[in-house]
């Protein structure tokens, strides 16, 4: 009688593992094209050979080539233009950003604000250090002007939040590293919302404390002191987290 593999008769160490699925043909074509692009063999703007030639070169059907091209267009690697065929497109950080932004919008985590604060710490502490080393004279002036505007009387919570947001974005631009735009772009709307939330939630907390923290960051950037900039941003984001945790606790008490 055939043994039932679902019983306990399997010897130790003989567990059956699922077989790895062989990649489909179009996925193998996708991998080949990505290798050609990443190696620089096919550079941005390069127009791909006609579908027939590609199918012959890869040894697959034209249908497989068509599937691969569609997949690569969805990833933002290739683009089709009427009358010009298919070509390798320039790197577009907006595609990456939109994918990340969609994920964050759909994740719906109850602790999202705290998680975003942690991501900000990972990014912005190094952002200010690089800004201290690389900010242009014009960017240093912009940062100081934003601080002065925040000190002006009569600002609403919304206006303070917008100035606060501009300060953080200007710091990111001062790194002179466009990759930070790739990382920050999907966070922009969430960052704006979080900053607005904290400003509206400060309540009786001393606003001067926040302004002092901003000015400490900007002063370190103006002085070109990367370590001081890191310390100042860590302190600022720690206080922001303190406010967020307090708001979260209050909301949970109201919902209870």
Whether 15 is in a domain gets the answer: no
Do 191 and 241 belong to one domain?
A: yes
- How much is the pTM? 0.59
How many Cα neighbours within 13 Å face the side chain of 12? 0
Whether 54 is in a domain gets the answer: yes
- Which of 88, 120, 139 finishes a domain? 88
Whether 18 is in a domain gets the answer: no
Do 67 and 45 belong to one domain?
A: yes
What pLDDT does 155 receive? 82
Do 79 and 125 belong to one domain?
A: no
Whether 19 is in a domain gets the answer: no
Do 41 and 83 belong to one domain?
A: yes
Whether 20 is in a domain gets the answer: no
Alpha-carbon 128 to chain mean position: 17
- List, in order, residues 6 or more apart from 5 with CB less than 8 Å away: 16
Domain count of the chain? 2
Q: How far is Cα 180 from Cα 18, in angstroms, rounded to an integer?
A: 40
Q: How far is Cα 142 from Cα 136, in angstroms, rounded to an integer?
A: 10
- List, in order, residues 6 or more apart from 194 with CB less than 8 Å away: 113, 116, 117, 240, 244
Backbone angles phi, psi at 16, to 5 degrees: -85, 125
Do 69 and 115 belong to one domain?
A: no
Of residues 210, 217, 214, the one with CA closest to residue 132:
217
Do 55 and 163 belong to one domain?
A: no
Of residues 237, 236, 227, the one with CA closest to residue 130:
227
- List, in order, residues 6 or more apart from 62 with CB less than 8 Å away: 51, 52, 55
Q: What is the CATH number of the domain that holds 188?
A: 1.20.120.530
Could you list the pLDDT tens digit for every one of the 256 residues in the chain? 444 544 555 555 556 666 555 668 888 999 999 889 888 899 988 999 999 999 999 999 999 999 999 988 887 789 988 888 899 987 665 555 555 555 555 555 547 778 878 888 889 999 999 999 999 999 999 999 999 999 988 888 788 888 888 898 899 999 999 888 667 766 766 667 767 767 776 555 567 888 999 999 999 999 999 999 999 999 999 988 887 788 777 767 676 6
What pLDDT does 115 receive? 80
What pLDDT does 1 receive? 47
Burial 139-171 (b: 16+ CB within 10 A, else e): bbebbeebbeebeeeebeeeebbbbbbbbbbbb
What pLDDT does 144 receive? 97
Whether 82 is in a domain gets the answer: yes
Whether 215 is in a domain gets the answer: yes
- Which of 39, 70, 88 finishes a domain? 88
Angle value at C-alpha 128, between 127 and 133, nearest 5 degrees: 100
Do 101 and 78 belong to one domain?
A: no
Look up the domain containing 147 and give its range: 95-255
What pLDDT does 118 receive? 87
Q: How far is Cα 113 from Cα 107, in angstroms, rounded to an integer?
A: 12
What pLDDT does 139 receive? 97
Do 149 and 231 belong to one domain?
A: yes
Do 246 and 125 belong to one domain?
A: yes
Q: Indicate the DSSP class of residue 87.
A: E
What pLDDT does 113 receive? 72
Q: What is the CATH number of the domain that holds 80?
A: 1.10.10.10
Q: How far is Cα 201 from Cα 157, in angstroms, rounded to an integer?
A: 9
Whether 55 is in a domain gets the answer: yes
Backbone angles phi, psi at 40, to 5 degrees: 90, 0
Strands 78-81 and 85-88: what pairing?
Answer: antiparallel
- Which of 39, 55, 88 finishes a domain? 88
What pLDDT does 195 receive? 73
Q: Where are the alpha helices (DSSP H) in 19-61?
A: 25-38, 51-58
């Amino acid at each position: 009688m055939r043994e039932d593999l679902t019983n306990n008769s399997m010897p130790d160490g003989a567990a059956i593992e699922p077989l790895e699925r062989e990649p489909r043909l179009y996925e193998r074509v996708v991998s080949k094209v990505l290798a050609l692009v990443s190696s620089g063999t096919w550079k941005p703007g390069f127009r791909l050979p006609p579908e027939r030639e590609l199918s012959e070169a890869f040894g697959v059907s034209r249908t497989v080539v068509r599937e691969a091209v569609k997949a690569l267009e969805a990833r933002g690697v290739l683009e089709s233009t009427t009358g010009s065929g298919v070509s390798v497109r320039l790197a577009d950080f907006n595609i990456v950003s939109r994918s990340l932004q969609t994920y964050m919008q759909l994740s719906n985590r109850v602790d999202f604000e705290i998680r975003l604060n942690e991501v900000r710490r990972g990014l912005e502490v190094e952002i200010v250090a690089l800004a201290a080393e690389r900010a242009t004279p014009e960017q240093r002036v912009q940062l100081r002007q934003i601080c002065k505007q925040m000190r002006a009387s009569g600002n609403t919570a919304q206006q303070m939040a917008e100035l606060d947001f501009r300060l953080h974005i200007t710091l990111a631009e001062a790194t002179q590293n466009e990759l930070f735009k790739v990382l920050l772009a999907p966070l922009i709307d969430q960052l704006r919302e979080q900053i607005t939330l904290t400003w509206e939630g400060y309540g009786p907390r001393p606003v001067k404390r926040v302004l002092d923290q901003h000015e400490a960051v900007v002063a370190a950037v103006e002085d070109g002191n990367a370590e001081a900039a890191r310390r100042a941003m860590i302190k600022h984001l720690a206080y922001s987290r303190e406010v967020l945790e307090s708001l979260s606790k209050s909301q949970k008490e109201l919902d209870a």
